[in-house]
Each structure stands twice: as structure tokens, then as C-alpha cells.
Amino acid sequence: MMYSDKVWDHFSNPRNVGEIADADGVGEVGNATCGDIMKIYLKIEKDVITDVKFKTFGCGAAIATSSMATEMIKGKPVSEALKLTNKAVVEALDGLPPVKVHCSVLAEQAIKHALADYYRRNGIDPTPFVGELPDAEACHVH
């Protein structure tokens, strides 16, 4: 399988790895049977994502997409983070092999679940903002 230099870079030197103890939103997606589990932690102040950390159990592409996705939303308003698509993550990594695109879908879903958690913690129905989210435990492998 051919991976871009950016994928190798984010796999070898992932950004924003870890947890945020007092996170304002946490999202976890994946399924142990698929082998990829992503957990995203968000710190949000005045509607801006001031910090984001992730823990990913999975293949190199899963780690690289988690790393790139967190880089793409850090310092951004929540409204912008909500628009992040797996396609944008794949493009930022200069592409992924087709069999690994599901990893970018997981990264997008983990962020959406974390934002939904943030809204719920603040007494706001997340559905108008994040839409209907698939079950966090669902396997996204196609």
C-alpha cells in the first residue's frame, strides 16, 4: 500500500496525542472487531476549540487521520469544526488508499460525537448542529 509523506509524518509523529482530564466534550467511535477505536477530547472556550487531544487504537492510517483531523480543528470555532469532512482530512493527508478511507470517516465521526457531547453537557440538543449520528459502536468499515 502506498502512503503519502504526510500520512507517514502524522503516523510517525502524531500531533495532539493524549487526554484532557477536564474536557468539555468527549467522543469515542469504533469497534474492537474492526480494530480501530478513536477517542477525541475537546476543550472549548467562548465557542472556540482551544485544545484537542486524541487516543487512537488502530492502524497507521487511523492514527494519521486522527492526528490530521485534530490539527484541522484546533483553534477553530465550533461552527467550523462541525463542517470538517472525512474528504477534507483525506485531502490534507494527500490521499489515502481506498481500503483506508474508513479511517477518515471514523475521525470525522469522533469529532462530531465529541461536539455532540459538548452540546449535551451544556443542555443543548446537538441534533440541529451535528445531525443524526450513527451509533458510536457501529463499525464503519465498508
Q: Answer yes or no: 59 catalytic.
A: no
**Catalytic residue from among 103, 105, 106, 114:** 103
- Which is it for the CA torsion 108, 113, 114, 116, positive or negative? positive
**Catalytic residue from among 17, 34, 82, 88:** 34
Identify whether the C-beta of residue 48 lies closer than 8 Å to the C-beta of residue 42. Answer: no
Q: Answer yes or no: 34 catalytic.
A: yes
Residue with cell 445531525: 131
Residue with cell 449520528: 133
Angle at 122 between CA 121 and CA 128, to 5 degrees: 100
Judged on CB neighbours under 10 Å (0-12, 13-18, 19+), 106 is: buried
Which residues lie closer than 8 Å to 63 by C-beta, 6 or more apart? 10, 11, 14, 56
Q: Which residues are catalytic?
A: 34, 103
